[in-house]
Structure 1
Amino acid sequence: MIIPSKIWFITGVSGGLGRALAREAAESGDIVFGTLRKPEQVEEFNQLVSGKTFGLELDVNDHSRADQLITHVRDQFGRIDILVNNAGYGLFGAIEEVSIEEARQQMETNFFSVLALTQLVLPIMRNQESGSIIQISSMAGIRSNPGLGMYNASKFALEGFSEALALETAEMNIRVMIVEPGPFRTDWAGSSAVRSQKIINEYDSTAGERIRMINNYSGTQPGNPVKGAKAIIKAIKSDNPPLRLVLGKPALDGIREKLKSIEQNLSEWEATTLNTSFD
């Protein structure tokens, strides 16, 4: 059997960045297994790049099913070269507006499902002594905004464990790359978005205003998913992939502004910071 150059496992390939990444990888000659929540989407994905793309029905919160599918791919090809944790959604609402159940669901999908899939592929990659794990985060994983606090929390958590993972697997030839897109022309701000059930009028000028802005630019975002996918493939197949890959000028500007703010804060309070040790 001729082994293709790479075997990919990508979650959330019904559209947006996940779909674009699946197509670009398959058209380059790799084989891509992509997960979709609806059974009717599976056959359509099979035809995306015939003979190269294979759809798998999966709700990423079903960890038992995820285990079965990872095992299926491993048994079929003997390896998984690249895992892309892309599936997720945005929960919109001020911190006080979001219920505990809504917050838990956000963390289950954006954090715990990613953790579960990452843990499932690690033994395979350790055994084959190679692999790449791509975590699709967001500029929101670095910088917070009103109305996105719980989404921010899920992406901050994702980035935290992924940084540690990169340090833990560096000597095993397993590479970790955190992708931080800004606004891309996907359904994230449209049909995929979830609004908290509770709405409190006092937050209308902060969280409410930000949420309306995001909803209004859905479909007109500057980021091109195809170009984003090409950038991800270029980076992960390079000799020295970055720990973080920022996508788009809004993300780059926003993250730089956050870093500048941190440095300013550190400088202003440096004397107080240093005056906390025993004499």
Structure 2
Amino acid sequence: MSRNWFITGTSSGFGRIMTECLLERGDTVFATLRKPDMLHDLQAGSQGRLYLAALDVTDTDMVRQVVDQAFAVLGRIDVIVSNAGYGLFGAAEEVSDAQIRQQLDTNILGSITVVRAALPHLRAQGGGRILQLSSMGGQIAFPGLGLYHASKWAIEGFFESLIQEVASFGIEATLIEPGAARTQFGRGSVVMAEPLDAYQTVPFSARRSVLAQDSYTPVGDPEKMVREMIASVDVSPAPLRLALGSDAYRLIHEALTERLEQLEAQKAIALSTDASP
């Protein structure tokens, strides 16, 4: 069965790969990106199944207009894919105020705005599926990526609540948690803060040069990951989370296990702080 998809951040990485995969299998895609001409090569062979629109997810009014336009053009949209986002590397002292605002505006507020704009349409049509690109970084944290992690942990909390709010309308959602993948995101495209001398000799600083180099090769295959994202739409009830990549599985498993052990160690303290009957 063919579906209609709305996808943000389609110029490269997961967004472009997903667009290619969906067109190959006969689906229709309303693809958004800052510069639509970057997908003109795909549109030429799409047989009229690829629609393009310029979109900056940090522009709230623009997001609402483009989402409304997409539903007007396609009539029904089966899957909303909130994919636009990027990484910022730098210690808390190193990142600038402007970099912090841009990171949070894009990864948190941009994603929330896209979903909020789509919800009235999804309710009106009786349901739909949302795929929100998070990261293994939504459940774990590395030094030097604090603001990126803040954005992903925040969007995961938002969706934990949202999914419960919209379930009765037939709307389901999945948080996609890829590990490091061989996309531009993981190979030299992370925004780097201006380093401070004080942080040049700390252990995590070595990651700075690794992330900045095109020679860095993550383990994740982005096309295999995208195909699992697409396949997840056929699963009902929708999985709350979808971890992709051996590194994602290993690191998330370690983090959750350690977190649970720490919670169990504090059980007596937690119970002792209840008010007396």
TM-score after normalising by structure 1? 0.92
Match of 1:239 in 2: 236
Larger displacement relative to structure 2 (160-169 or 212-221): 212-221
CA distance in 2 between counterparts of 1:53 and 1:110 reads 25
| Amino acid corresponding to residue 81 of structure 2 in structure 1 | V
Q: Is 1:155–2:177 an aligned residue pair?
A: no
CA distance in 2 between counterparts of 1:54 and 1:218 reads 34
Match of 1:57 in 2: 54
Q: For residues 126-147 of structure 1, what are the alpha-carbon distances to aligned partners after superposition, in whole Å with 9 as ceiling and x for unaligned? A: 0001111110000000101100
Shift of 1:72: 1.5
> Of residues 18, 22, 26 in structure 1, which corresponds to 2:19?
22
Match of 1:179 in 2: 176
| Alpha-carbon distance change, 82 to 66 in structure 1, aligned in 2, over 3 angstroms | same
| Alpha-carbon distance change, 256 to 217 in structure 1, aligned in 2, over 3 angstroms | farther
Give 5+ residue unaligned stretches, structure 2. none
Shift of 1:219: 5.0
Match of 1:252 in 2: 249
Structure 2 residue matching 1:188: 3-state secondary structure: helix
CA distance in 2 between counterparts of 1:13 and 1:160 reads 25
CA distance in 2 between counterparts of 1:196 and 1:225 reads 26
Q: Is 1:221–2:200 an aligned residue pair?
A: no
CA distance in 2 between counterparts of 1:232 and 1:56 reads 23
| Alpha-carbon distance change, 10 to 227 in structure 1, aligned in 2, over 3 angstroms | same
CA distance in 1 between counterparts of 2:136 and 2:237 reads 22
Q: Is the 8 A contact 2:11 2:39 kept in 1?
A: no
Larger displacement relative to structure 2 (174-183 or 269-278): 269-278
Q: Is the 8 A contact 1:37 1:59 kept in 2?
A: yes
Aligned length: 276
Q: Is 1:143–2:119 an aligned residue pair?
A: no
Q: Percent identity?
A: 38
Q: Is the 8 A contact 1:23 1:48 kept in 2?
A: no
> Of residues 57, 64, 70 in structure 1, which corresponds to 2:67?
70
Larger displacement relative to structure 2 (139-148 or 100-109): 100-109
Q: Is the 8 A contact 2:199 2:205 kept in 1?
A: no
Shift of 1:52: 2.0
Q: Is the 8 A contact 1:94 1:203 kept in 2?
A: no
CA distance in 2 between counterparts of 1:10 and 1:68 reads 15
| Amino acid corresponding to residue 218 of structure 2 in structure 1 | Q
Q: Is 1:202–2:202 an aligned residue pair?
A: no
Q: Is 1:112–2:127 an aligned residue pair?
A: no
Shift of 1:214: 3.3
TM-score after normalising by structure 2? 0.93
Q: Is the 8 A contact 1:94 1:207 kept in 2?
A: no
| Alpha-carbon distance change, 48 to 182 in structure 1, aligned in 2, over 3 angstroms | farther
Structure 2 residue matching 1:32: 3-state secondary structure: strand
Q: For residues 144-198 of structure 1, what are the alpha-carbon distances to aligned partners after superposition, in whole Å with 9 as ceiling and x for unaligned? A: 1100000000000110101111111111110110000000000113343111135
| Alpha-carbon distance change, 269 to 212 in structure 1, aligned in 2, over 3 angstroms | farther
Q: Is the 8 A contact 2:188 2:213 kept in 1?
A: no
Q: Is 1:167–2:164 an aligned residue pair?
A: yes
| Alpha-carbon distance change, 271 to 212 in structure 1, aligned in 2, over 3 angstroms | farther
Give 5+ residue unaligned stretches, structure 1. none
CA distance in 1 between counterparts of 2:89 and 2:45 reads 32
CA distance in 2 between counterparts of 1:159 and 1:200 reads 34
Q: Is the 8 A contact 1:12 1:36 kept in 2?
A: yes
Q: Is 1:190–2:187 an aligned residue pair?
A: yes
| Amino acid corresponding to residue 137 of structure 1 in structure 2 | S
Structure 2 residue matching 1:125: 3-state secondary structure: helix
Find runs of 4+ consecutive structure 1 residues off by over 4 angstroms: 216-219
